[in-house]
Chains A and B, each alone.
Chain A
Amino acid sequence: GNSVTQMEGPVTLSEEAFLTINCTYTATGYPSLFWYVQYPGEGLQLLLKATKADDKGSNKGFEATYRKETTSFHLEKGSVQVSDSAVYFCALSDQSSRSQGNLIFGKGTKLSVKP
């Protein structure tokens, strides 16, 4: 079945450090891929998305490229800020005929950025 695997956290970085959170997926068909972010005490918010191979999603300095050949969608940011501290979820849209519209999430990676 479809699944998402993302790196275990927590990830602790200093301010202005480079961030990479790895995400790989298993899917049939051509899913869309997403990164969601959950700030403390809040629900999930869509951070960025890519709907086809080689697309790059970007938002708030974060980027991720849909790599079909490696089935990956790694999240990157060149210079993190304390305000980026949150839990990040990689997800894919379930393209199976019964569940189109479902999202399948990874377990989440907690990021802590220290001043």
Chain B
Amino acid sequence: ETGVTQTPRHLVMGMTNKKSLKCEQHLGHNAMYWYKQSAKKPLELMFVYNFKEQTENNSVPSRFSPECPNSSHLFLHLHTLQPEDSALYLCASSQDFSGGSYNEQFFGPGTRLTVL
């Protein structure tokens, strides 16, 4: 495997379910990101982890819970979601998230989530 992979690619869940999205990067990067992509809205940054430490949480509801056990893996745990949470969830990674510089972000293919 190369680049950034995400599983599952598609997920349908009820509002009372608990599920997790997984992201893995094979690029040796130290920063990982979760984005939400909804129709007709800009890409929304949800969380950033840099060297396994959470550095950004963009006022995301607590029904989304991220986990970063190591620099290569990132999870998004979902529980008690709402239908408006249906979207494409994209994971990305970059070399790091250092101040004063930009590091190109590499994206996974996304998980298409539908909440019934």
Contact = CB atoms under 8 A, between A and B. Distances in A.
The answer to whether A binds B is: yes
What DSSP secondary structure best describes chain B's contact surface? loop
Q: Which bucket holds chain B's interface residue count?
A: 20 to 34
Interface in A67-103: 89, 93, 97, 99-103
B107 A45 contact: yes
A100 B99 contact: yes
B48 A107 contact: no
Interface of B: 4, 6, 31, 40-43, 45, 48, 50, 56, 90, 92, 94, 96-110
Given A49-B104, A100-B99, A100-B100, 16 more contacts: A41-B109, A42-B110, A43-B4, A43-B109, A46-B106, A51-B102, A97-B99, A99-B56, A100-B101, A101-B96, A101-B97, A101-B99, A101-B101, A102-B48, A105-B43, A107-B42
